[in-house]
Amino acid sequence: MRFGLMGERLVALFLLGLLLFNPPILNLFSTDQVWAGIPVLYIYIYASWLAVIVMAGLTIERTREPDRGPDQPRGDPEG
């Protein structure tokens, strides 16, 4: 059950990433403004990139530990 939920969250995150990393959202940030001396677009891409990684990490790590029980479907082909 929790793995199903995790799967859904990861798919949602994937779709979010597709949205964040592509035009036209990127066009919103491609202005000539700078923030702390750095073009906004660069800050945006790196920040959203890191955010996606952190969210993926949280989703995976928070779900996986308690679920590492015998209930995890893991068919050993050699067995």
Partner 1 sequence: MLQQWFIFAAAFGYLCLLFAIAYFADKRADQGRSLIANPYTYALSIAVYCTAWTFYGSVGRAASSGIDFLPIYLGPTLVFVLCWFILRKIVRISRVNRITSIADFISSRYGKSQLLGGLVTIIAVVGIVPYISLQLKGVSTSFNLLVQYPEIVMPRAVSTIPILQDSALYVALLLATFSILFGTRHIDASEHHEGMVAAIAFESIVKLVAFLAVGIFVTYWLYDGWGALMKEALARPDIVQLFTTEKISDFGNWITLLLLSMGAIICLPRQWQVTVVENVDEKHLDRAVWLFPLYLFLINLFVLPVALAGLLHFTGGSVHPDTFVLALPMMVQREDIALAVFIGGLSAATGMVIVETVALSTMLCNDLIMPVLLRLRWLQLTQRTDLSRLLITIRRGSIVGVLLLSYLYFRLIGESYTLVTIGLVSFAAAAQFAPAIIGGIFWKGGTRQGALTGLTAGFLVWFYTLLLPSFVRSGWIAPDLLEAGPFGIALLRPQALFGLTGLDSLSHALFWSMLANIAGLIGVSLLTRQSAIERIQASRFVDAFRQTDDGQARYWRGTATVKDLEALLVRFVGQARAKAELADYARLRGFNLGKLREADANLLHFGERLLAGAIGAASARVMVGSIAKGESATIDEVMEILDETSQVIQYSRQLELKSKELETATAELRAANERLKELDRLKDDFLSTVSHELRTPLTSIRSFSEILFDNPALSDEQRREFLGIIIKESERLTRLINQILDLAKMDAGRMDWQMGWLDVKSVIEEALAASAGLLRERPIRLDVDLPDGLPAVHADRDQLIQVIVNLLSNAVKFCDPAAGRVGVSAAAERGAVRIDVRDNGPGVSPDDQARIFERFQQAGPTLTDKPQGTGLGLAISRQIVERFGGRIWIENAPGGGSLLSFTVPTVAGDARAAAQD
**Considering the rule CB under 8 A, would residue 69 count as an interface residue with partner 1?**
no
List beta partners, residue 35: 38
C-alpha to C-alpha distance for 25 and 78, rounded to whole angstroms? 48
- Can you say whether residue 51 is alpha, beta or left, with left for phi > 0 and alpha for psi between -120 and 50 degrees? alpha
**Rounded to whole angstroms, how far apart are CA atoms 71 and 50?**
32
2, 21, 70, 71: residue in contact with partner 1 (rule CB under 8 A): 21
Does 50 participate in binding partner 1 (rule CB under 8 A)? yes
Residues that bind partner 1 (CB under 8 A): 6-7, 10-11, 13-14, 17-18, 21-23, 26-27, 30-32, 34, 36-39, 41-42, 45-46, 49-50, 52-54, 56-57, 60-61, 64, 68, 73-75, 77, 79
